[in-house]
Amino acid sequence: MLDPKYMLENADFIVKKTKARGIKLSLDKFIKISQEKKDYLIKVESLRHEKNKASELVAQKKKEGQDASSVISEMKKVGAEIKILEEKLKELEEKLREISLSIPNVPHESVPEGKSSKDNVEVRKFSEKPKFAFPIKPHWEIGKELGILDFERAAKIAGSRFAVYFGAGAKLERALINFMLDVHTEEKEYQEVIPPFIANERSLMGTGNLPKFENDLFKLRGYKWYMIPTAEVPLTNLYQDDILEEDSLPKRFVAYTPCFRREAGSYGKDIRGLIRQHQFNKVELMSFALPENSYTELEKMTVDAEEVLKRLGLHYRVVVLCTADMGFAGAKTYDVELWMPARKKYMEISSCTNCEDFQARRANIRFRRKGKSKLEFVHTLNGSGVALGRTVSAILESFQQEDGSVVIPKVLRLYMDGLDKIT
């Protein structure tokens, strides 16, 4: 949510920036209703003032034993009038809120303009694409042949877009979770969290998943609960309605959670393998930062996410998303993309986003500067550190051997009882 004052004062700029996102937006209605609301507000306030004065008079008269009935009957009328105006006012406020909630964040000035993901700009790369002297296989074939991934059995249990991990596959996934958590907690100053994997409406409003993107979510039937699509939701809402101390910022958290997504509208896309699942594991980074530091924090977070991939020895690149490819709540996003040898394509594995005060305003997360009374909204940042399923895919494909086995990256062997190869 954007600051309503900012919206009124910079309407043209916001419309222009939103257009760059590929979204058509008009703020005319917002401006008109805002003015209307203000007029009503002034009317209501003056009537309420009158009422307050009269109430004082009634109290005084009664104390002095005088008759107050004329004032009281007069105020009955005023009271009724106030009620009508208040209803109208509330209606207008509700409309304004609805509009505000549906407007995406404004991209940061450093974000390149573009029309699609093709216009994302590569920022840096790490290492080289792996080379193979034999015909390579996609990860689902490798996983099936090694007996560590099973999509058919997952389909029996749940349906398509689910996976069962067996033996060394399950252990690899668990090793990666522990490895990532250890890197982020022991070296990168993030505090580990295990949050609920279910969140309520308010929390999903806070992050911007609701009200616009309900179709992406799994809702629990009969409850106002949703399965989390990412740990960003519970982590951001850790401090919903809170007031933080300036000294306590930045606050950094890392959480392992499963993520649940409907993937509605992606029928037929990435149907094979671990790339696009209804349920996947992810280690997520989260940071609450001072506004003046949030872009430094975004750089740090991206580098921290990359660190994991570097140590695994996987080839990746970092791109800055263009205006058209960014998410609803983001002001700037870096995607870290892993190289998938079998598809000969880079795939997003981490998305590090500075939401500035967009989510903080929705979730009401504020802070107080030392010695000042005015409250400000914090900046929130989130980034994957990193998604597990796609990492496993890249490991299987990148480190596959001619005999069908897969070499385990050195940093993981400690987490896998010394196992150096899955055969």
Partner RNA sequence: GGAGGGAUGGCCGAGUGGCUUAAGGCGGCGGUCUUGAAAAUCGCUUCCCGGGCAACCGGGACGGGGGUUCGAAUCCCUCUCCCUCCGCCA
> What residue ranges bind RNA (CB under 7 A)?
5, 38, 41-42, 44-46, 48-49, 51-55, 58-59, 62-63, 72, 75-76, 79, 90, 243, 368, 370-371, 373-375
Strands 121-126 and 316-320: antiparallel
- Pick 21 or 361: Cβ nearer RNA: 361
- Pick 46 or 117: Cβ nearer RNA: 46
Strand, coil or helix: 350: strand
C-alpha atoms less than 13 angstroms from C-alpha of 73 in its C-beta half-sphere: 3
Query: Which residue from 277, 301, 398 is spatially nearest to 353, judged by alpha carbons?
Result: 301
Strand, coil or helix: 192: strand
Sheet with 366-368: list strands edge to edge: 243-245, 366-368, 375-377
- Pick 178 or 200: Cβ nearer RNA: 200
- Pick 4 or 112: Cβ nearer RNA: 4
User: 262, 352 in Cβ contact below 8 A?
Assistant: no
Query: Which residue from 206, 214, 163 is spatially nearest to 364, judged by alpha carbons?
Result: 206
- Considering the complex, what minimum distance in angstroms separates the CB of residue 357 from RNA? 13
- Considering the complex, what minimum distance in angstroms separates the CB of residue 376 from RNA? 8
- Pick 110 or 373: Cβ nearer RNA: 373
- Considering the complex, what minimum distance in angstroms separates the CB of residue 363 from RNA? 15
Tell the residue number behind the tokens 């993030």, with chain if given: 190
Cα distance between residue 93 and residue 14, in whole Å:
21
- Considering the complex, what minimum distance in angstroms separates the CB of residue 372 from RNA? 8
Copy the structure tokens of residue 392. 């496993």
Query: Which residue from 235, 226, 207 is spatially nearest to 104, judged by alpha carbons?
Result: 207
Q: How many CB atoms lie within 10 A of CB 353?
A: 27
- Pick 87 or 187: Cβ nearer RNA: 87
C-alpha atoms less than 13 angstroms from C-alpha of 125 in its C-beta half-sphere: 8
- Pick 43 or 413: Cβ nearer RNA: 43
- Considering the complex, what minimum distance in angstroms separates the CB of residue 370 from RNA? 6
- Considering the complex, what minimum distance in angstroms separates the CB of residue 44 from RNA? 7
- Considering the complex, what minimum distance in angstroms separates the CB of residue 158 from RNA? 22
